Structures are given as C-alpha cells and as structure tokens.
Amino acid sequence: MIARSKRYTNSIKDLSVDDSLSMPDALGRLDGFEKAKFDETVELSFSLGVDPKQSSQGVRGTVNLPHGSGKEIKVLVFTEKTEEALSAGADIAGLDDLIAKIKDGWMEFDVALSTTEAMKSVRSVARVLGPRGLMPTPKAGTVTDNVEEAIQAVKAGRVEFKMDKTGALAVVIGKRSFSQEQLEENAQVALEAVVSSRPEGFKGRFIKTVHLSSTMSPSVRINSTSVN
C-alpha cells in the first residue's frame, strides 16, 4: 500500500478520477490543493497516441513561455570562444575541458548550447547527454552560431520537451506562485506547441490524455477533445 501525506490525502478527497475539466477549471482545482513549503513546479503531462518505437513518430520541440518557467536556468555553451559566450550571458562556457568533465560524470547545468563548429567535438558525449535530454540539436534550437540570442531565449523561458520511450511527455508551465492568468497563458502556448509537434503523416488520435499537476499535488485531467 502506498503511503500518502496528509496534504495529498486532503487534496484528493473531492477529486474523481473521471473528472475531465477545462484548463481554467483545472487550474482552479490545482489552486485549491494544499501547497508544499516550497514553490512547486507546475507541468502538463501528455500521453500520446504515437508509436514510440517508430523513429518517424518521435516527438520533441521547444516552447517560449510568455511568463517564463520560474526556474533559474544554468546555461552551458560548447564553444572555442569562451569569453564571448560568457559575456553573452552563459553561466559556463568551454569545449574540450567541459567535455572531459562530462565524461567524468559532471552535469551541473540545465541547458546545453553549442556552436556549429563545436558539435564535431560535442558528439563524443552524445551517449551521455542524449538520455538526459541535454544533447544540443538543431531542431531544438540549441545548435546555433547566434549564441547570445539562444542564451536570451533560454533564460527568458524557452522550455524543451521530448517524448520518452513510453509515449509520455511533460512540459513545465510555471510555478505555484504564478497567477492563474500567467499559468493559463503559459499552458495554452505549451498545448499549441505540443499539438504542432505532431509527426508528419501521423493518423489517429495524437493526444490521448493531458493532466495538470504540481510537484507534490495530485494530477487533474484536462478535457483533451478540443486539443485534438
């Protein structure tokens, strides 16, 4: 039997598993749940109808949240022009030295960017960064020669999302401290971004379910009929 906290139990006492709410109503329900002692992260969790075993049906992308994610993002840039990247706002910059540290298990950053030229060396740690969702890719906008613009986008609230091996996907949309309006606007943009990531040629129901939750709260099911 799973042990549940008193806060969690109080939150789910009026929640039915059959509830399927509009986004505003779901956010209202979330706001009514008891809060933890820290500022919880709020996210949307998706169950997708694609076949995760088919490479052509992979789903990933980025979304620029209008109100940011509420998280302090530590940005690493793989580049030979270290000082230039640091001046542009990178928290960490370098190339061979950073690759060596990563091979030894160091992972103290949230987002990795790379210049086009540096990718020749960065590919040597693809097997380390890839499973963690940290490998720079052109599709995600994390391989670029406009480093300053990329750093600003990430710091301003650009969030990357990627489907896992089970066909599930999660997108951060903010913090519990955000206003309902801020969370709703972020959620709407995130929904649109996921819908736009539908694989070309895919037929069928793309989004099976959508749930809203915070770090310590129960999840609330969103009515996904209109989403599809």
Q: Which residue has the higher pLDDT, 227 or 141?
A: 141
For the cut 60, the answer to whether the pLDDT of residue 10 exceeds it is no
* Location of each CATH 3.40.50.790 domain in the chain: 75-156
Q: Is the pTM of this model over 0.85?
A: no
The β-bridge partners of 220 are: 212
User: Burial of 169 by CB count in 10 Å (0-12 exposed, 13-18 middle, 19+ buried)?
Assistant: buried
Q: How far apart are CA 161 and CA 32, in angstroms?
A: 27
* Location of each CATH 3.30.190.20 domain in the chain: 6-69+159-222
Q: What is the pLDDT of residues 195-221, one digit of tens each?
A: 999 999 899 999 999 999 999 999 999
CATH number for region 6-69+159-222: 3.30.190.20
CATH for 75-156 (2.30.29.30, 3.30.420.40, 2.60.40.10, 3.40.50.790): 3.40.50.790
Q: What is the pLDDT of residues 87-118, one digit of tens each?
A: 999 999 999 999 999 999 999 999 999 999 99
Q: Say what the pLDDT of residue 190 is.
A: 96
Per-residue confidence at 139, pLDDT binned at 50, 70, 90?
A: confident
CA dihedral 175, 181, 184, 186 (to 10 degrees): -60
